[in-house]
Homo-oligomer: A and B are copies of this chain.
């Protein structure tokens, strides 16, 4: 995984996070993202299904072959997806490292 890889869009990342605990179907992803993000992302079907299609195209997630429920389509991370999520998390750590002290120092004193 090259370090210079472009950042995933926020919705894509949030879906990878939601699938990192366990395979989920679309509607479950939607609810999970909304709670995982502390309410900061309001994922509706419009973004959900178009982003799922993109992630499948990029081979970061795949549909679970075994049919668990007729009405539901389950998705899980691919190896490439785990790799990408790991890489993305590096960026999150970097931002926290850069801002942690500064925000504590400055916030509220201006």
Contacts and interface: CB of A to CB of B under 8 A. Distances in A.
Interface of A: 3-7, 9-10, 13, 17, 20-21, 36-42, 77-79, 82-83, 85-86, 89-96, 98-100, 102-103, 106-108, 110
A83 to B, nearest CB: 7
Contacts of A82: 103, 106-108, 110
- Which A-B residue pairs are the 6 nearest by beta carbons? A4-B39, A20-B102, A82-B107, A79-B110, A7-B40, A92-B92
Copies in the complex: 2
A contact patch SS: helix
Contacts of A39: 3-4
Given A20-B98, A77-B110, 9 more contacts: A4-B39, A6-B41, A20-B106, A21-B102, A36-B94, A89-B95, A89-B99, A89-B100, A93-B96
B20 A99 contact: yes
A94 B92 CA distance: 10
Most chain B Cβ neighbours within 10 Å, of A78, A90, A102, A103 = A103
